[in-house]
Amino acid sequence: MIKRKSKREIELMQEAGKLLAKVHKELRSFIKPGITTMDIENFVEKYLVKHGATAEQKGYQGYEYATCASINDEICHGFPRKDELKDGDIVTVDMVIRLNGGLADSAWTHPVGNISEEAQKLMDVTKSSLYKGIEQAQVGKRIGDIGHAIQSYVEGEGYSVVRDFTGHGIGETIHEDPYIPHFGEAGKGARLKEGMVITIEPMVNIGGWESKMDTNNWTARTVDGSLSAQYEHTVAITADGPVILTEQEED
Ligand code: MF3
Ligand code: CO
């Protein structure tokens, strides 16, 4: 069942989204060679406590951390760990936060030190694909329009879109209907309606789209070992168009 949110509910999610955007902005300068993804986890937890928010992922379906930290060929749901990040790595930090009853979900791929041109291009294309998906998040369009816009752009750049993980509705809990694939056919799927709040979160691989699961039963990585990036926003569908609830202010 797709739940539509009231103006007030969306406002609360936007407050959470603003705080989450600030966390990602802080991480831009925090992440550098030598720090660990466990340092990122601790930094985020402290930041949330300080600002009266909580980490919604912790305890969700048995997940133990506030953040997911997925390095290089890891697609999503990497565990925070104590290995140092190296110059040239890329790391996707994903988290859901709760503030005054509102939830917001956003992932961002960060460079570690100096990265290759190839990694930079992957990140640029992945981020642009997110915004191409968001452009389609309009009252009256269909879910397939979002996936189609993302997939056709990404494949046109020579990359592939992960199939095994999707965006989702979000509201009282992290994952609600509808599910939002980042691939698909224009004009297909459920119609988007005012008051729906969804995540759009394309994961893009330099090589093939196939993923495999680590033995921890959480972390997915590319089968061919190629790099993977991800950008995710929480987006409200309103009569005035898509409103990005987790947008980061420019410097
Ligand atoms: N933030 C993730 C998403 O974008 C959800 C992570 S699932 C968890 O869908 F179990 F790790 F919390
Ligand atoms: Co997320």
Write the pLDDT tens digit of every residue in 75-123: 999 999 999 999 999 999 999 999 999 999 999 999 999 999 999 999 9
What share of the chain has pLDDT > 90, as a percent? 98
Predicted local distance difference test score (pLDDT) of residue 250: 80
Predicted local distance difference test score (pLDDT) of residue 226: 98
Mean pLDDT of the chain: 98
Distance of CA 228 to the CA centre of its chain: 13
Does residue 51 contact residue 80 with C-beta atoms inside 8 Å? Answer: no
Does residue 169 contact residue 196 with C-beta atoms inside 8 Å? Answer: yes
- The model's confidence at residue 249, banded by pLDDT at 50, 70 and 90, is confident
pLDDT of 178 above 80: yes
Task: Note the ligand closest to the C-alpha atom of 56.
Answer: 1
> What's this model's pTM, rounded to 2 decimal places?
0.98
Does residue 44 contact residue 55 with C-beta atoms inside 8 Å? Answer: yes
Phi then psi for 10, rounded to 5 degrees?
-65, -35
C-alpha distance from residue 242 to each of 59, 137, 196 (Å): 30, 6, 10
Q: What is the pLDDT of residues 223-232, one digit of tens each?
A: 999 999 999 9
The ligand 1 atom at the shortest distance from the C-alpha of residue 77 is 11
- CB-defined site of ligand 1, < 6 Å: 57, 60-61, 63, 68, 77, 94, 96, 105, 107, 174, 199, 201, 232
DSSP state for residue 62 in the 8-state scheme: G
Contacts for 62 with CB less than 8 Å, ≥ 6 apart = none
The domains found in the chain, sorted by start residue, are 7-244 (3.90.230.10)
Name which of 187, 198, 208 is nearest 243 in CA terms: 198
Angle at 141 between CA 135 and CA 145, to 5 degrees: 65
Residue 246: both structure tokens together: 């987790």
Query: Residue 232 pairs with which residues in a beta bridge?
Result: 107
Rounded Cα–Cα distance for residues 223 and 205 (Å): 10
